[in-house]
Amino acid sequence: MKILVINSGSSSIKFKLYEMSSAEEGEVLASGLAERIGEDTSTLTYKRHEKDGSETKQTWNDPLPNHETGLKRIIKALSDPEKGVISSPDEIAAAGHRVLHAGEAFSAPTKVNDAVIDAIKKCIPLGPLHNPANLDGILVASQIMQGASQVAVFDTAFHQTMPPEAYLYALPYELYKEQGVRRYGFHGTSHKYVARVTAKLAGVPQDQSNIITAHLGNGSSMAAVRNGRCVDTSMGLTPLPGLIMGTRTGDIDPAIIFYLGKQLGLSLEELDNLVNKQSGLKGICGHNDLRDVHTAAEEGEERAKLALSMLAYRNKKFFGAYIAALGRVDAIAFTAGVGENDSWVRAQSLADMEHLGVVIDLERNDGRCSEPTLISADSSTIQVWVVPTDEEYEIARETYEVLS
């Protein structure tokens, strides 16, 4: 079954075409990105994935005034007689769409219908940057690919199993009921994929597996997974709280917002920008990419060293909290740009936790991991893994499951 995974952004469409032979087995046929949609010059980068593992890349620079022309151009490339991978667009059985926010409406991937479209629209205030673009992608694909099923895979869905004590804020209860103010969590597709793969690696049946997943990238979040289901996560109503990120604060005292608003006369918009775009690693040391922070620290910049210590300390506190929340923990898994590549962050975030059953083997932990890698010592009662995430594959897999 050929499934086209679509991640539609405000000015881009990222895509990957899979041939799924079962829910557990899929092969990438082609992938790419249409960028700068709506600008004077747009670019479509298209890669055909060859059997020997190599890629044939091609780039087009035709103008793509909107998402409709963007998706049509992608389908034309996929069915190109020379460079394409399908002989007709009808071969695509389904499109799996990444959708940021479904609120409490959906706890599983769902075939697109009026209720799905309604839920995505209702959640636009909670995901103002992503939900409108995700919806655009769904509407355009429904129109262009009339023979294909459309499935929405929500970033919030995996976290819908959290119990109320984990998802409620200690605010007046009416604000939850009337305004939907609660913890939703994000990166759900990644946490779900990594938790499932880690359970397998740890040799524990998924429905009995207790796992902490740490998705550490430019945006970062952790999830505590009990018996294969999410019971807590570090992001909240929005992707701002929890861990220290590239430009986002993570957890801060919420009263800081009022204090700064009053002291500096900042508007709500300015405060929003401050905590989301000017804070995190960038706020502490001026660099938001962790590689630059390391370089600056090695060159002796004290603030960069401080930013690294703060980041690792925050991660460590969340690991401790989730070990407490879960009780028995089978495995911890690191994933995403930082989690997969930064051995210093992995080691420091779990340093001196032998008393909790976590012992990192520094040799196993050394370097970047492009494959699942065990980095804990044999003496560690909790296994620690690096598991490269694959959100697109998870979307293709879930789309396949919805259809079968």
Query: Which amino acids are annotated catalytic?
Result: 155
Site for ligand AMP in 338-367 (CB under 6 A): 338, 341-342
Residues contacting 249, CB < 8 A, separation 6+: 240, 241, 275, 279, 280, 283
9 binds ligand AMP (CB under 6 A): no
Q: Which of 79, 161, 218, 278 binds ligand AMP (CB under 6 A)?
A: 218
Residue keyed to tokens 């520094």: 362
280 binds ligand AMP (CB under 6 A): no
Binding annotation for substrate? 98
Measured torsion, CA atoms of residues 273, 276, 278, 280, in degrees rounded to the nearest 10: 160
The region of 107-115, 265-273, 285-293, 307-315 touching ligand AMP under the rule CB under 6 A is 285-293
- Residues 158-197, one symbol each (x = binds ligand AMP by CB under 6 A, - = not), give ----------------------------------------
395 binds ligand AMP (CB under 6 A): no
Select 29 or 375, whichever has its Cβ closest to ligand AMP: 375
Contact assessment for residue 265 and residue 199, using Cβ atoms and an 8 Å cutoff: no
Which conformational region is residue 227 in: left (phi greater than 0), alpha (psi within -120 to 50 degrees), or beta? left
Whole-angstrom Cα distance, residue 70 to residue 35?
A: 9
3-state secondary structure of 374: strand
Whole-angstrom Cα distance, residue 119 to residue 134?
A: 12
The region of 4-12, 138-146, 153-161, 332-340 touching ligand AMP under the rule CB under 6 A is 332-340
Which conformational region is residue 130 in: left (phi greater than 0), alpha (psi within -120 to 50 degrees), or beta? alpha
- Residues 62-101, one symbol each (x = binds ligand AMP by CB under 6 A, - = not), give ----------------------------------------
Residue keyed to tokens 């709506």: 38
Instruction: Return the exposure string of 295-318: e unless at least 16 CB atoms fall within 10 Å of the residue's CB, then b.
Output: ebbeeebebbbebbebbbebbbeb
276 binds ligand AMP (CB under 6 A): no
Binding annotation for Mg(2+)? 7, 391
7 binds ligand AMP (CB under 6 A): no
Q: Which of 133, 135, 290, 307 binds ligand AMP (CB under 6 A)?
A: 290
Q: Give contact residues for ligand AMP (rule: CB under 6 A).
A: 217-218, 246, 289-291, 336-338, 341-342, 368
